[in-house]
Protein backbone atom coordinates (compact mmCIF):
# COMPACT_ATOMS: atom_id res chain seq x y z
CA UNK A 1 0.00 0.00 0.00
CA UNK A 2 1.47 3.35 -1.06
CA UNK A 3 1.58 6.54 0.99
CA UNK A 4 1.03 10.12 -0.16
CA UNK A 5 1.72 13.28 1.83
CA UNK A 6 -0.35 16.28 0.72
CA UNK A 7 0.13 19.85 1.94
CA UNK A 8 -2.70 22.34 2.37
CA UNK A 9 -5.52 19.86 3.00
CA UNK A 10 -7.89 21.98 5.08
CA UNK A 11 -10.01 22.93 2.04
CA UNK A 12 -10.17 23.22 -1.73
CA UNK A 13 -7.81 21.31 -3.99
CA UNK A 14 -5.82 19.70 -1.17
CA UNK A 15 -8.88 18.44 0.67
CA UNK A 16 -10.38 16.89 -2.47
CA UNK A 17 -7.05 15.33 -3.42
CA UNK A 18 -6.71 13.72 0.01
CA UNK A 19 -10.24 12.34 -0.29
CA UNK A 20 -9.51 11.05 -3.82
CA UNK A 21 -6.43 9.08 -2.74
CA UNK A 22 -8.23 7.69 0.32
CA UNK A 23 -11.01 6.36 -1.88
CA UNK A 24 -8.39 4.50 -3.91
CA UNK A 25 -6.90 2.69 -0.92
CA UNK A 26 -3.77 4.75 -0.43
CA UNK A 27 -2.41 5.75 2.95
CA UNK A 28 -2.89 9.51 3.16
CA UNK A 29 -1.00 11.97 5.32
CA UNK A 30 -3.06 15.15 5.14
CA UNK A 31 -1.24 18.18 6.46
CA UNK A 32 -2.75 21.48 7.61
CA UNK A 33 -1.59 24.49 9.56
CA UNK A 34 -4.40 23.81 12.01
CA UNK A 35 -5.25 20.08 11.92
CA UNK A 36 -8.94 19.17 11.63
CA UNK A 37 -10.02 15.54 11.66
CA UNK A 38 -13.64 16.34 10.73
CA UNK A 39 -13.03 17.50 7.15
CA UNK A 40 -12.14 14.03 5.86
CA UNK A 41 -13.80 10.62 6.22
CA UNK A 42 -12.58 8.52 9.14
CA UNK A 43 -10.10 5.89 7.99
CA UNK A 44 -7.31 3.77 9.42
CA UNK A 45 -5.31 4.85 6.37
CA UNK A 46 -5.60 8.57 7.19
CA UNK A 47 -3.33 10.68 9.38
CA UNK A 48 -3.83 14.41 9.83
CA UNK A 49 -0.75 16.24 11.03
CA UNK A 50 0.21 19.86 11.62
CA UNK A 51 2.44 21.56 9.07
CA UNK A 52 3.39 25.15 8.33
CA UNK A 53 5.49 25.02 5.16
CA UNK A 54 7.01 28.42 5.98
CA UNK A 55 8.52 27.12 9.23
CA UNK A 56 11.63 24.93 8.84
CA UNK A 57 11.13 23.25 12.22
CA UNK A 58 7.51 22.42 11.32
CA UNK A 59 8.62 20.96 7.97
CA UNK A 60 11.21 18.74 9.64
CA UNK A 61 8.78 17.58 12.33
CA UNK A 62 6.14 16.73 9.73
CA UNK A 63 8.55 14.72 7.59
CA UNK A 64 9.78 12.79 10.63
CA UNK A 65 6.22 12.14 11.81
CA UNK A 66 5.16 10.97 8.35
CA UNK A 67 7.87 8.36 7.98
CA UNK A 68 8.48 6.79 4.55
CA UNK A 69 6.25 8.15 1.77
CA UNK A 70 5.95 7.37 -1.93
CA UNK A 71 4.51 10.64 -3.20
CA UNK A 72 4.73 14.26 -2.04
CA UNK A 73 2.05 16.67 -3.26
CA UNK A 74 3.00 20.31 -2.73
CA UNK A 75 -0.42 21.92 -2.84
CA UNK A 76 -0.30 24.52 -0.04
CA UNK A 77 -0.59 28.02 -1.44
CA UNK A 78 -2.06 31.46 -0.86
CA UNK A 79 -3.55 33.94 -3.32
CA UNK A 80 -2.96 37.59 -4.08
CA UNK A 81 -4.83 39.91 -6.41
CA UNK A 82 -4.09 43.58 -6.97
CA UNK A 83 -1.82 46.11 -8.69
CA UNK A 84 1.80 45.95 -7.62
CA UNK A 85 1.77 49.51 -6.25
CA UNK A 86 -0.83 48.45 -3.72
CA UNK A 87 1.04 45.37 -2.48
CA UNK A 88 3.50 45.77 0.36
CA UNK A 89 6.83 43.98 0.28
CA UNK A 90 5.76 42.25 3.49
CA UNK A 91 2.80 40.73 1.65
CA UNK A 92 4.97 39.86 -1.34
CA UNK A 93 7.37 37.97 0.92
CA UNK A 94 4.42 36.19 2.55
CA UNK A 95 3.24 34.96 -0.86
CA UNK A 96 6.70 33.69 -1.80
CA UNK A 97 7.30 32.10 1.62
CA UNK A 98 4.29 29.81 1.15
CA UNK A 99 3.95 29.34 -2.60
CA UNK A 100 7.62 29.18 -3.54
CA UNK A 101 9.93 28.64 -0.59
CA UNK A 102 7.47 26.32 1.16
CA UNK A 103 7.36 24.08 -1.90
CA UNK A 104 11.15 24.08 -2.17
CA UNK A 105 11.55 23.32 1.54
CA UNK A 106 9.17 20.36 1.44
CA UNK A 107 10.85 18.99 -1.67
CA UNK A 108 14.30 19.28 -0.13
CA UNK A 109 13.10 17.55 3.03
CA UNK A 110 11.87 14.39 1.24
CA UNK A 111 14.76 14.03 -1.20
CA UNK A 112 17.09 12.00 1.05
CA UNK A 113 14.59 9.15 1.45
CA UNK A 114 13.60 9.20 -2.24
CA UNK A 115 17.22 9.25 -3.37
CA UNK A 116 18.22 6.37 -1.10
CA UNK A 117 15.27 4.24 -2.21
CA UNK A 118 15.70 5.31 -5.84
CA UNK A 119 11.97 5.87 -6.02
CA UNK A 120 9.49 8.65 -5.42
CA UNK A 121 7.23 11.21 -7.06
CA UNK A 122 6.93 14.93 -6.29
CA UNK A 123 3.85 16.72 -7.62
CA UNK A 124 3.89 20.52 -7.48
CA UNK A 125 0.58 22.32 -7.92
CA UNK A 126 1.04 25.61 -9.76
CA UNK A 127 -1.52 27.69 -11.67
CA UNK A 128 -2.68 28.45 -15.20
CA UNK A 129 -1.69 32.09 -14.60
CA UNK A 130 1.79 30.88 -15.56
CA UNK A 131 0.48 30.02 -19.04
CA UNK A 132 -0.95 33.44 -19.93
CA UNK A 133 -0.09 36.88 -18.53
CA UNK A 134 -2.98 38.41 -16.59
CA UNK A 135 -3.30 41.80 -14.88
CA UNK A 136 -3.38 42.28 -11.11
CA UNK A 137 -1.59 38.96 -10.58
CA UNK A 138 2.07 39.88 -11.01
CA UNK A 139 3.24 38.79 -7.54
CA UNK A 140 1.13 35.64 -7.40
CA UNK A 141 2.15 34.64 -10.94
CA UNK A 142 5.83 35.19 -10.14
CA UNK A 143 5.57 32.92 -7.09
CA UNK A 144 4.04 30.14 -9.17
CA UNK A 145 6.23 30.61 -12.25
CA UNK A 146 9.27 30.15 -10.02
CA UNK A 147 7.99 26.70 -9.07
CA UNK A 148 7.59 25.74 -12.72
CA UNK A 149 11.24 26.61 -13.40
CA UNK A 150 12.34 24.95 -10.16
CA UNK A 151 10.51 21.72 -11.01
CA UNK A 152 11.76 21.46 -14.58
CA UNK A 153 15.37 22.05 -13.54
CA UNK A 154 15.29 19.75 -10.51
CA UNK A 155 13.80 16.94 -12.61
CA UNK A 156 17.09 16.76 -14.51
CA UNK A 157 19.03 16.26 -11.25
CA UNK A 158 16.72 13.58 -9.90
CA UNK A 159 16.26 11.43 -12.99
CA UNK A 160 19.41 9.47 -12.10
CA UNK A 161 17.73 8.42 -8.84
CA UNK A 162 14.44 7.42 -10.50
CA UNK A 163 12.63 10.29 -8.77
CA UNK A 164 9.92 11.90 -10.91
CA UNK A 165 8.84 15.54 -10.81
CA UNK A 166 5.47 16.67 -12.08
CA UNK A 167 3.49 19.91 -12.39
CA UNK A 168 -0.29 20.06 -12.05
CA UNK A 169 -1.60 23.29 -13.53
CA UNK A 170 -5.11 24.18 -12.31
CA UNK A 171 -7.26 26.72 -14.07
CA UNK A 172 -9.24 29.44 -12.36
CA UNK A 173 -11.05 28.64 -9.12
CA UNK A 174 -12.99 31.89 -8.65
CA UNK A 175 -14.54 31.48 -5.21
CA UNK A 176 -11.62 29.70 -3.57
CA UNK A 177 -8.98 32.10 -4.89
CA UNK A 178 -11.01 35.19 -3.93
CA UNK A 179 -11.60 33.94 -0.38
CA UNK A 180 -7.93 33.06 -0.04
CA UNK A 181 -6.71 36.43 -1.32
CA UNK A 182 -9.10 38.76 0.55
CA UNK A 183 -7.12 38.96 3.77
CA UNK A 184 -4.11 40.28 1.84
CA UNK A 185 -6.06 43.02 0.02
CA UNK A 186 -6.75 45.13 3.10
CA UNK A 187 -5.03 48.17 1.63
CA UNK A 188 -7.51 48.13 -1.24
CA UNK A 189 -6.76 49.32 -4.75
CA UNK A 190 -4.71 52.50 -5.26
CA UNK A 191 -6.92 55.24 -6.73
CA UNK A 192 -4.90 55.47 -9.94
CA UNK A 193 -5.77 51.82 -10.67
CA UNK A 194 -9.37 51.81 -9.44
CA UNK A 195 -11.16 52.02 -12.80
CA UNK A 196 -8.84 49.48 -14.39
CA UNK A 197 -9.19 47.05 -11.49
CA UNK A 198 -12.98 47.43 -11.50
CA UNK A 199 -13.12 46.44 -15.18
CA UNK A 200 -10.96 43.36 -14.46
CA UNK A 201 -13.12 42.33 -11.50
CA UNK A 202 -16.27 42.75 -13.60
CA UNK A 203 -14.85 40.49 -16.29
CA UNK A 204 -13.96 37.85 -13.72
CA UNK A 205 -17.50 37.90 -12.36
CA UNK A 206 -19.00 37.33 -15.80
CA UNK A 207 -16.76 34.45 -16.85
CA UNK A 208 -18.33 31.04 -16.38
CA UNK A 209 -16.82 27.66 -15.66
CA UNK A 210 -13.42 27.30 -14.14
CA UNK A 211 -11.60 24.50 -12.39
CA UNK A 212 -13.21 22.33 -9.74
CA UNK A 213 -11.32 20.60 -6.91
CA UNK A 214 -12.08 17.19 -8.46
CA UNK A 215 -10.31 18.27 -11.68
CA UNK A 216 -7.16 18.90 -9.66
CA UNK A 217 -7.47 15.67 -7.67
CA UNK A 218 -7.73 13.66 -10.89
CA UNK A 219 -4.70 15.41 -12.38
CA UNK A 220 -2.63 14.82 -9.23
CA UNK A 221 -3.63 11.15 -9.26
CA UNK A 222 -2.47 10.84 -12.86
CA UNK A 223 0.82 12.56 -12.06
CA UNK A 224 1.39 10.29 -9.07
CA UNK A 225 0.46 6.97 -10.66
CA UNK A 226 1.22 7.24 -14.40
CA UNK A 227 4.96 7.37 -15.12
CA UNK A 228 4.20 8.06 -18.79
CA UNK A 229 2.24 11.24 -18.06
CA UNK A 230 3.71 14.55 -19.26
CA UNK A 231 5.53 16.75 -16.77
CA UNK A 232 2.84 19.45 -17.04
CA UNK A 233 -0.74 18.28 -16.56
CA UNK A 234 -3.51 20.89 -16.91
CA UNK A 235 -6.45 20.55 -14.53
CA UNK A 236 -9.84 21.94 -15.47
CA UNK A 237 -11.36 22.76 -18.86
CA UNK A 238 -10.03 26.32 -18.84
CA UNK A 239 -6.46 25.17 -18.15
CA UNK A 240 -6.74 22.47 -20.83
CA UNK A 241 -7.91 25.11 -23.33
CA UNK A 242 -4.98 27.38 -22.49
CA UNK A 243 -2.48 24.55 -23.03
CA UNK A 244 -4.13 23.55 -26.31
CA UNK A 245 -4.42 27.12 -27.55
Q: What is the pLDDT of residues 61-91, one digit of tens each?
A: 999 999 999 999 999 999 999 999 999 999 9
Active site residues: 140
Domain boundaries, the chain: 3-244
Q: Percentage of the chain with pLDDT > 90? A: 81
The CATH architecture one would assign to domain 3-244 is 3-Layer(aba) Sandwich (3.40)
Query: Which one, of 159, 56, 169, 50, lies nearest residue 104 by Cα?
Result: 56
**Rounded mean pLDDT, 21-33:** 97
For residue 173, the model assigns a pLDDT of 79
Q: Check residue 203 and give its pLDDT.
A: 75
pTM for the model stands at: 0.93
Asked if pLDDT for residue 183 goes beyond 60, the answer is no
Cα separation, 236 vs 212, whole angstroms = 7
Name the 3-class secondary structure at 11. coil
- Give the model's pLDDT for residue 62: 97
User: What is residue 204's predicted lDDT score, i.e. its pLDDT?
Assistant: 72
- CA 102 to CA 189: how far, in whole Å? 28
Q: Is the pLDDT of residue 245 over 70?
A: no
Amino acid sequence: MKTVLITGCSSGFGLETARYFLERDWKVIATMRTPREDVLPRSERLRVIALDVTDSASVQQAIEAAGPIDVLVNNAGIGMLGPLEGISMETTREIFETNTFGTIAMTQAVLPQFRKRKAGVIVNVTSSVTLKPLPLLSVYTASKAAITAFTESLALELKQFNVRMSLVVPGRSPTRFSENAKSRMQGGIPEAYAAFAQSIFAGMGQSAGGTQPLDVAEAVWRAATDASSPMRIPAGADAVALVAG
